[in-house]
Amino acid sequence: MAGRTVRVQGFPAELPPDRAADKLTIHFLRSRNGGGDISNVRVLPGSLPCALITFEAPEVAQRILQVKNHVLAIGKTQYPLEVTPHASELSPNEVLRG
């Protein structure tokens, strides 16, 4: 999944995870936002929720990252989104075996 996944923050914490996933999917599918086909959306709830969005093609993720101002509209409220590359990291508990 490297190169195809972006991390998104900035959507409201009170939004239920399934609704947040729906809203983000709609936003990032739109070509005017640089989007394209999505293979997975995972919302990680919390006080500062984030979502990991994996696209079918790495080019789409790169286009998404080049768009400077992503704004998610929910009703009349606009939420500026922070979109960054997602690099999967090993947790300290994982052991590498050669």
Q: Alpha-carbon distance 47 to 58, whole Å? A: 29
Q: Alpha-carbon distance 93 to 96, whole Å? A: 10
- pLDDT for residue 73: 94
Instruction: Say which residue the tokens 């992503």 belong to.
Output: 70
- Asked whether the whole model's pTM tops 0.75, one would answer yes
| Consecutive 10-residue averages of pLDDT for the chain (98 residues) | 87 94 97 95 92 96 95 96 81 46
Strand (E) or helix (H) holding 85 = strand 77-85
- pLDDT for residue 46: 84
Q: Alpha-carbon distance 35 to 61, whole Å? A: 8
Residue 36 buriedness (CB in 10 A; 0-12 / 13-18 / 19+): middle
Domain boundaries, the chain: 5-85
Topology annotation, domain 5-85: Alpha-Beta Plaits (3.30.70)
- pLDDT for residue 94: 45
- pLDDT for residue 91: 47
Cβ–Cβ < 8 Å for 50, 17: no
- pLDDT for residue 87: 75
- pLDDT for residue 90: 46
Tokens at residue 21, please?
């996933």
